[in-house]
Amino acid sequence: MSLGRMQWMVLAVVVVLIGYAVNRPALPPDRQEAPGAGLKAQAAPDQSGKPMEDRVAEFLSRSRVQEPWSQGALEQHAALRRLYAEFQGFKDGAEFKRYGFGAGGPFGAWQDAVRRVNGDLEYAGLLFDRCGLTPDDLIRHASDGTRDGAGAKVKADAAAWAACFEG
């Protein structure tokens, strides 16, 4: 499983907060503050003079800005778009409903191709930032479509994938 930039940033903030809580000197009970009280005043500014919470807010606002994709990422997106189109062609077929991605089945090569695209961590991260999806999510979406009772989730995932490939 790969983590997108947003997930890494959240993980970093959690680690910093845990470090802060662990390394905070113990105060006598009569001088203890509520958890997190005074945190804003204690946040160390960086070289620019901005406190930590301002830097985090700035990072969060920039993290959803779509950066230009490299040529390799564009090629991977085109490949995944083709694989999505192939999926649209076989998803409702009786053969796919019967075999799914079973070993030796006719759709194993498609699944392997999606996994190769997912192996490009740069592209997987960019796709997650842009669409909130990873290439592996397409495999899960396809697998969910073969199960009974997965209607609402499958429809929501289908809308997310369609929106991702529109732009």
Say yes or no: 57 and 130 in one domain. no
Please give the chain's pLDDT, 167 residues, in tens.
456 676 777 777 766 566 655 555 555 555 555 554 444 444 445 556 666 666 555 554 544 445 678 898 889 999 999 999 998 888 888 888 888 877 777 888 899 999 999 999 999 989 888 888 899 988 888 887 666 555 677 778 788 888 888 75
Say yes or no: 124 and 94 in one domain. yes
Residue ranges making up the domain that contains 82: 71-166
Say yes or no: 141 and 158 in one domain. yes
Rounded to whole angstroms, the Cα distance separating 22 from 25 reads 8
Say yes or no: 26 and 46 in one domain. yes
Say yes or no: 57 and 89 in one domain. no
Note if the pTM is more than 0.75: no
Number of domains in the chain: 2
Say yes or no: 111 and 33 in one domain. no
